[in-house]
């Protein structure tokens, strides 16, 4: 069974985000980047399934500029067999990403597309769902447990009311939530081996994909700074303070 894992290069989660002075976005130049943490989880899941003998080939895919190659090398060190780099500079909107992933999915004849539930840069949480729609495939998002059984996948998902278990026919799209697994430490030998694995570069044109422009960023602003809190000494004081504010 062939699986596709999409991995995105994002500003590292440890970086304190700065807004560009003109409000057109966040500062990314000279800022540490790494693989989207949810994509790491998706990658780890695919590798575990391969180690269990349920998956035969893992293909990592990224979309974006030249630096995306580093993210693919990380995916290859995790255990992807090969990688595809959809090399396009500039903004890539979720629908565009979904179109490209759908095209590759079809071309490769993959059985599962694993993605992170969202990327921590724009937190859009759309790509997995849109790709499933474009491919007309079942989707199981926010997975916290995945079990493969021949032509089906049992996926446990975290929802507000608790846990929900879905059974989906394969091929399908699965997006990974935080508690699906804990990604491994990359072993140094694997890091070095990844250097030798192949990365195929393709363009939107190669894939017959048209870039979507359905979204427009109007302004980027930092979240409002929290105003100073008040210390209360007793529960009674807390309750009356909340009542005074009309919050309870």
Q: What is the contact surface with other proteins in residues (CB under 8 A)?
A: 34, 70, 73-74, 77, 185-192, 195
34 versus 93: smaller Cβ distance to other proteins:
34
Shortest separation between residue 186's beta carbon and other proteins, angstroms: 5
34 versus 118: smaller Cβ distance to other proteins:
34
34 versus 139: smaller Cβ distance to other proteins:
34
74 versus 111: smaller Cβ distance to other proteins:
74
CA dihedral sign, ordered 75, 80, 82, 84 = negative
Sheet holding 162-169, edge to edge: 162-169, 152-159, 139-149, 172-176, 112-116, 2-6, 57-64, 82-87, 199-202
For β-strands 9-11 and 33-35, DSSP reports them as antiparallel
185 versus 205: smaller Cβ distance to other proteins:
185
Residues 6+ apart with CB under 8 A from 64: 8, 9, 86, 87, 88, 89, 92
Cα distance between residue 118 and residue 36, in whole Å: 8
Shortest separation between residue 174's beta carbon and other proteins, angstroms: 25
2 versus 33: smaller Cβ distance to other proteins:
33
Shortest separation between residue 138's beta carbon and other proteins, angstroms: 35
Beta strands per DSSP E along 160-207: 162-169, 172-176, 199-202
Shortest separation between residue 187's beta carbon and other proteins, angstroms: 5
CB 126 within 8 A of CB 231: no
Of 176, 174, 45, 180, which is closest to residue 111 (Cα–Cα)?
A: 174
Shortest separation between residue 34's beta carbon and other proteins, angstroms: 8
Shortest separation between residue 221's beta carbon and other proteins, angstroms: 24
150: left (phi over 0), alpha (psi -120 to 50) or beta: left
Shortest separation between residue 243's beta carbon and other proteins, angstroms: 32
188 versus 230: smaller Cβ distance to other proteins:
188
Distance in angstroms between the alpha carbons of the first and the last residue of the chain: 54
């Amino acid at each position: 069974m062939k699986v596709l894992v999409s991995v995105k290069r994002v500003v590292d989660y440890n970086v304190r985000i700065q807004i560009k002075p003109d409000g057109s976005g966040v500062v990314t130049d000279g800022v540490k980047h790494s693989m989207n943490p949810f994509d790491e989880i998706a990658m780890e899941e695919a590798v575990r399934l391969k180690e269990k003998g349920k998956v035969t080939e893992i293909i990592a895919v990224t979309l974006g500029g030249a630096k995306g190659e580093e993210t693919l090398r990380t995916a290859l060190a995790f255990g992807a067999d090969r990688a595809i780099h959809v090399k396009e500079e500039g903004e890539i909107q979720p629908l565009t990403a979904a179109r490209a992933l759908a095209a590759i999915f079809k071309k490769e004849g993959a059985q599962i597309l694993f993605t992170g539930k969202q990327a921590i840069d724009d937190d859009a949480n759309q790509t997995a769902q849109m790709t499933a729609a474009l491919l007309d495939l079942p989707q199981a998002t926010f997975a916290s447990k995945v079990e493969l059984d021949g032509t089906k996948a049992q996926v446990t998902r975290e929802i507000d009311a608790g846990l929900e278990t879905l059974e989906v026919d394969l091929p399908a799209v699965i997006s990974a939530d935080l508690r699906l697994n804990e990604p491994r430490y990359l072993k140094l030998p694997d890091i070095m081996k990844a250097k030798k694995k192949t990365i195929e570069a393709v363009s939107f044109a190669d894939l017959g994909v048209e870039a979507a422009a359905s979204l427009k960023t109007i302004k980027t602003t930092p979240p409002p700074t929290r105003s100073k809190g008040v210390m209360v000494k007793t529960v009674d004081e807390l309750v009356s303070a909340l009542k005074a504010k009309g919050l309870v």
